[in-house]
Amino acid sequence: MEIAGARIWVTGASSGIGAALARELADRGAHLAVSARSVDALTEVAGGRMVVVPLDVTDRAATVAAGGAVREALGGLDVAVLNAGTWSRFHVEPWDSSLFAEHLQVNVMGAVHTLEAVLPQMLAAGRGRVVGTASVAGYRGLPGSEAYGAGKAALLNLLEALRGSVGPRGVVVQTVSPGFVRTPMTDRNRFPMPFLIEPEAAARTIADGIARDKAEIVFPLPMAVSMKLARLVPVRAWTALTAAMARRGLHGGPERRAG
């Protein structure tokens, strides 16, 4: 697709990948609307060249209303980027169902609400594009990612199903699955993050993937290859591997002590 001139809404655009992507798309000539909860941060990202629509995506009615506000401000909508997300380590003891629900509310229902805000108009017009930010963490179960990974796996499945449903009706669905990107979300992590990249690099890859109509945008390449291969590892071997990781405090296991 042609990014220059496209009307694009990015949620989760107040920091990290969403902020960098909004800037990258605006630099390429798109007309942007940006949403998240932090108005000040959004205003700074917008830099006077994007429409700011503050929003909590867990609020269904507010999200549907925000979709209308975005269409009105931009004069229509060509692309919705469902990027708002949250991550924190999940501990199995004590079990915290509220934290689990919070992840599903933001990472799954937030995307579902945003879809409700944009899909009816796209389907009626017979054109449009939805870009969802999932994660390679949704590819396999990882200790400490019980809540995050479950939500991202749901999102991967949802987007894949939707691609088949709405593709024939003119609506393109693209799935973004980043590896580790340096953002406020990952700054708190105390475990090794292989192949970590900067948000600007992530934004360039996502923008290129959107422009090239890629169904899946998975990056960086070494992480994409590793996690695609991880999908092929038999369950017994995967369990042994992840149990060893958890014992050593790697990827979301018990907190690693500095030094």
Ligand X SMILES: NC(=O)c1ccc[n+]([C@@H]2O[C@H](COP(=O)([O-])OP(=O)(O)OC[C@H]3O[C@@H](n4cnc5c(N)ncnc54)[C@H](OP(=O)(O)O)[C@@H]3O)[C@@H](O)[C@H]2O)c1
Q: Which is nearer to ligand X, 68 or 125 (CB)?
A: 68
Binding-site size, ligand X (CB under 6 A):
32
Give dist(CA 32, CA 56) in Å, integer.
18
Amino acid found at 250:
L
Q: Among residues 3, 55, 153, 207, which is the contact residue for ligand X, using CB under 6 A? A: 55
| 208 Cβ contact list (under 8 Å, min separation 6) | none
Q: Among residues 60, 64, 69, 86, which is the contact residue for ligand X, using CB under 6 A? A: 86
Binding mask 190-219 for ligand X (x = CB under 6 A): ------------------------------
Long-range contacts of 237-241 (CB under 8 A, 24+ apart): 238/140, 238/141
**SS3 state at 96:** coil
Q: Which is nearer to ligand X, 35 or 242 (CB)?
A: 35
Q: Among residues 4, 27, 38, 157, which is the contact residue for ligand X, using CB under 6 A? A: 38
16 lies in the binding site for ligand X (CB under 6 A): yes
Task: Decide: 181 and 197 in contact? Cβ < 8 Å.
Answer: yes
Binding mask 142-181 for ligand X (x = CB under 6 A): ------------------------------------x-xx
In order of 107, 178, 215, the CA distances from 184 in angstroms are: 16, 15, 27
- Residues 107-136 binding ligand X (CB under 6 A) are 110, 133, 135
Give dist(CA 219, CA 192) in Å, integer.
17
Q: Among residues 6, 12, 90, 204, which is the contact residue for ligand X, using CB under 6 A? A: 12
Give dist(CA 252, CA 91) in Å, integer.
9
Active site residue 139: no
**SS3 state at 208:** helix
The residue length of the chain stands at 259
Exactly one of 87, 90, 148, 219 is catalytic; which is it?
148
Q: How far apart are the first and last CA of the chain?
A: 48
Q: Which is nearer to ligand X, 58 or 226 (CB)?
A: 58
Q: Write out the catalytic residue numbers.
A: 148
Residue numbers at the binding site for ligand X (CB under 6 A): 11-18, 36-38, 41, 55-58, 83-87, 106, 110, 133, 135, 178, 180-181, 183-186
